[in-house]
Homo-oligomer: A and B are copies of this chain.
Amino acid sequence: MTYLDKLKAIQDKNNSWLCIGLDPSLERLRVDFRKWDEPILPYNRAIIDATADLVCAYKPNLGFYLQWGAAGIIALERTIAYIPRDIPIVLDCKTGDIGHTQAAWGNGLFDEWQVDAVTVNPFVGSDAVLPMIGERPDNAVYILARTSNKSATQFQGDLPQESGLSAEVLRQSQTWPTAGHKGYVIGATYPEELAAARRLAPEANFLIPGIGAQGGDLAMSVKYGPDKVAGPLISASRSVIYASGGEDFAEAARAEALRLRDQINLLRQ
């Protein structure tokens, strides 16, 4: 099954465009979890149990696991294995190395871990993408086009005017020959940028981080997010998984996921 078909199926089943970022941050875990040697996996399992019928994808970020070295990576592997197989897993690692190294990343992430998609940094050009999904029809990459952070404008140019690095990435990368799907990371920070990205890449799936604290942009994410096959991944992390620091953390995560899903769905009508 292609990545977009898998995504579309779960978006229909769960009636959801919500993607939850699984970004473990030890200091925000419930106190009694912190006493365990390995708190990440049980925390993630509780979050997944509480939200698996409300999401269209989970997005673990590699950096939050690597911060505990091999112990964190073991927790990541087990988290990936625990996610129901009909829910796409996007590993957020922003990898972007040259040819033979990027092939090694592809072996690890797609073949060893069996994730569905990964985020990719395009600084080095097509070498970052072709070894990953050139010959993997069931997988996808989300190429960084416009990130949601403050310093994004330092190098990424003026996307609304379709000039500069972000616009060039969107234009050029669509021509790269890949069996797998090329989607894009587009921060929800400014609506004009979402509109421009959709103009430049009408067929691509979008991964849209940056909602949550900035809920005002949700309407534009819904307006410009969908492609011709599927809806976007509208992604929230901390606002969901740390909705409560108390014993009710899983119930609170479910409540916040439900609220976000329904808020998105209201805007879709």
A contacts, CB < 8 Å to B:
23, 25, 61, 63-64, 66-70, 72-74, 76-77, 92, 94-102, 104-105, 107-109, 112-113, 121-127, 144, 147-156, 165, 168-169, 172
Q: Is the CB of A105 within 8 A of B67?
A: yes
Q: Is the CB of A125 within 8 A of B105?
A: no
Q: A108 contacts which of B23, B63, B108, B121 (Cβ < 8 Å)?
A: B63
Q: Is the CB of B151 within 8 A of A101?
A: no
Copies, count: 2
A151 and B123 in contact, given A66-B105, A77-B70 (Cβ under 8 angstroms) = no
User: In the complex, which residue of chain B has the Cβ closest to the Cβ of A164?
Assistant: B165
Q: Is the CB of B63 within 8 A of A70?
A: no
User: In the complex, which residue of chain B has the Cβ closest to the Cβ of A61?
Assistant: B101
How far is the CB of A257 from the nearest CB of chain B, in Å?
A: 20
A113 partner residues in chain B, CB cutoff 8 A? 69
Specify the main secondary structure of chain A where it touches its partner: helix
A64 partner residues in chain B, CB cutoff 8 A? 101, 104
A156 and B68 in contact, given A25-B104, A104-B25 (Cβ under 8 angstroms) = no
Q: Is the CB of A67 within 8 A of B121?
A: no
Q: Is the CB of B102 within 8 A of A126?
A: no
CA distance A25 to B149 in the complex (A): 36
Q: Is the CB of A97 within 8 A of B94?
A: yes
Chosen A-B contacts, 13 in total, with CB atoms closer than 8 Å, are: A63-B95, A63-B101, A63-B104, A64-B104, A66-B73, A68-B108, A69-B112, A70-B76, A70-B77, A94-B95, A98-B149, A125-B153, A155-B169
Q: A105 contacts which of B63, B95, B123 (Cβ < 8 Å)?
A: B63
Please list the 4 inter-chain residue pairs (A to B) with the smallest Cβ-Cβ separation, ordered nearest first: A125-B151, A125-B154, A67-B108, A98-B149
CA distance A248 to B125 in the complex (A): 38
How far is the CB of A58 from the nearest CB of chain B, in Å?
A: 16
